[in-house]
Structures are given as C-alpha cells and as structure tokens.
C-alpha cells in the first residue's frame, strides 16, 4: 500500500479536483464579461497560470480557492474590457459578440441531439443571448463586471467590490445603472417556439427569394448588423428598415447561389447558419419582438467562427 510518506512518491494535492472543477464556472463568467469565447478561454488559462505560479504553501493559505480564481479572472476581464474599447475603435466595421455554437438542429424552438463537449461548453440561458450581450457592450467595464457578478452569478456587493476596486455602495450603483439599461432595451419576451417559427419562415422566404414575405416578417424599423472584421466582405454600417434588409437579403441570395442555410441554436436561441461548400461562412442571431424580427446580427468574421468550423458536422 502506498502512503504519502513513502520515498519517491509525490504528495497528492487534495485541492486539485476542486480547482479544475472551477473551469466551467470561470469560462461562463469570462464569456459574459468579454463577449468572446476565445478571449474567455485565454482568461481562464491565465487565471490557472497564476494559481500554479504560487507555491504550495501560498495555495494552502487561501481559504477559498474558487473565490480566489473568480477574483483573479474578474480582474483580468476588467483590464481587458478597458483595453477592448481602444481595440474596437480600430476594428473594421461593426463589432458583434462572438456567437456560441450548439451544433444541434432545432424543432419548435427546442434543441435536439447531443451538443459537442457538453462538459466544457458555456451554459446557454438568457444571459448569453445576443441581444443581452449587445446591450452589455454599451456599458462601462465597471458596470458590466458589477452587473454580471451580482445579477447573473449572485455574488454579494462586498465580493464584487474586491474585484472592481470600488466600495460596495458604488458597485450597487453600477449594477443598478446596468440593470436600467437592460430594462430599457428589452422588449417583452417572445416564446422560443414562436421565435423558431418566425426564424424558419425567414429562412424559407430567403431561400425562395420572396421579398414580400421577408418584408412581412421584419419590423419596419428593424436593423441588421454584419461583422466581417475587415477579413471578408460585410456591410460596414447597420442596415435600417425592414424593406432595405429584405432587399439586401435577396441580393445576397442572388450573389451566392450555392449557399446552404441551416437551422441552428445560436446563443441559446433559434438562429441560422449559412454554409458554402460545407464551410460555415455566416452565423445569424435574431431578436424577435412579438411576431416580427427586430434585429439581425450576422457574424462573418472567420476568426469568430472557428468554434463553428472546428470539427463541425455536415
């Protein structure tokens, strides 16, 4: 029988499993804070690197390793959010949060099948839908961090204050301001099954090049935003108006005759994926208000589509 005292044996780390189990939580947190799965994974990697850079004695002195990891990840995200504003001023065209893949077809608004790597994927709920993430982009870094930590992950304002570097009262005000932005931007929720039907009708009308049907599905004041990152062709400014969006969609269908449109869940809601020769070239997220499409976000930047193409199924 091997015991820790035997020579040549490495002393087991009883906290290792607890530390590793925090990965999914950290990834969930970082994605919501940054709107980028790639950046979120980098944050998690850096957080763990800082943990393992400490001595065993330093690690043992930490009462709550999970709390320590969250604090470090939150601070890294806060720093990145500050520098992201400058980076996005240089971004070519519109910037849209990176869409989360769930490689399953949807029927009546419910996903069917088994998602890829279910243990590692970010949890899909209302706090990762595209409309929510777009509103988060309008917040200051401190507002975003305070709101996500408190309202989504249920950390106390005292805990949030340690990460943001402000008083609990100030963090409460930050979260309140962010909450107000969310309320002002949100339309009454449309049932997922109804969203699925409207998005499917949009797909069918698009494939049929039926401009009247498309106009009927779009809110007259709808907007469509495309993100190519300067790497592929994309409209550099938002398209406003249902008729203008419908005409542009028809133009695209005419220019890309071999395009295949698939029904997929995008950030937990019914969306569409466009493929050419089996390669994903566009991921579309929708915001449906009542029985009309209010917003369309089309991500074409290939860097943001890597999770959709790596190991993708036909």
pLDDT reported for residue 127: 78
Two tokens, residue 177: 């301001």
Residue 13 has what pLDDT?
Answer: 56
Q: What's residue 172's pLDDT? A: 96
How is residue 126 annotated by DSSP?
A: G
Rounded CA-CA distance 82/60 in Å is 32
Burial readout 147-183 (b: 16 or more C-beta within 10 A, e: otherwise): bbbbebbebebebbbbbbebeeebbbbbbeebeebbe
Averaged pLDDT for residues 16-44:
89
- pLDDT for residue 284 is more than 70: yes
Q: Quick one: how many helices (H) and strands (E) in the chain?
A: 13, 9
DSSP collapsed to 3 states, 14-65: CCHHHHHCCHHHHHHHHHHHHCCHHHHHHHHHHHHHHHHHCCHHHHHCCCCH
Give residue-wise pLDDT tens across range 134-145: 999 999 999 999
In the predicted structure, residue 238 carries a pLDDT above the cut 70: yes
Select the more confidently predicted residue: 28 or 20.
Answer: 28
Closest CA to 246 of 176, 187, 296, 188: 296
Dist. CA 288–CA 271, nearest whole Å: 11
User: Would you state the pLDDT for residue 189?
Assistant: 78
Compute the mean pLDDT over every residue in the chain, rounded to the nearest whole number: 86
- Would you place residue 15 in the very low, low, confident or very high pLDDT band (cuts 50, 70, 90)? low
Least confident of 51-60, 79-88, 229-238: 79-88
Kindly state the average pLDDT of the residues 86-100: 87
End-to-end CA distance of the chain: 51
Q: What is the pLDDT of residue 125?
A: 65
Please report which helix (H) or strand (E) contains residue 197, including its range: helix 192-208
């Amino acid at each position: 029988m091997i015991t820790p005292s035997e020579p040549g044996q490495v002393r087991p780390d009883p906290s290792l499993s607890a530390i590793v189990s925090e990965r999914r939580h950290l990834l969930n947190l970082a994605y919501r804070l940054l709107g980028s799965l790639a950046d979120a994974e980098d944050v998690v990697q850096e957080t763990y690197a800082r943990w393992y850079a400490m001595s065993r004695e330093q690690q043992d002195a930490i009462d709550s390793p999970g709390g320590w990891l969250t604090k470090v990840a939150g601070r890294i995200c806060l720093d990145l959010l500050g520098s992201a504003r400058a980076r996005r001023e240089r971004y070519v065209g519109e910037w849209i949060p990176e869409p989360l893949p769930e490689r399953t077809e949807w029927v009546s608004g419910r996903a069917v099948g088994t998602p890829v790597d279910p243990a590692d994927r970010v949890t899909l709920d209302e706090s990762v839908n595209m409309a929510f993430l777009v509103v988060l982009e309008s917040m200051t870094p401190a507002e975003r961090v305070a709101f996500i930590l408190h309202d989504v992950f249920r950390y106390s304002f005292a805990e949030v204050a340690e990460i943001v570097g402000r008083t609990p009262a100030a963090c409460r005000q930050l979260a309140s301001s962010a909450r107000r932005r969310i309320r002002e931007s949100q339309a009454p929720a449309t049932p997922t099954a109804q969203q699925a039907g409207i998005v499917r009708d949009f797909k069918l009308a698009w494939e049929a090049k039926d401009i009247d049907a498309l106009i009927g599905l779009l809110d007259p004041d709808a907007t469509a935003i495309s993100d190519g990152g300067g790497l592929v062709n994309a409209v550099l400014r938002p398209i406003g108006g249902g008729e203008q969006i419908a005409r542009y969609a028809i133009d695209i269908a005419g220019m890309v005759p071999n395009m295949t449109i698939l029904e997929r869940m995008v950030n937990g809601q019914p969306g569409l994926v466009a493929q050419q020769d089996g390669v994903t070239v566009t991921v579309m997220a929708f915001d449906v208000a009542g029985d009309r499409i209010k917003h369309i976000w089309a991500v074409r930047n290939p860097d943001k589509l890597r999770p959709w193409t790596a190991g993708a199924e036909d």
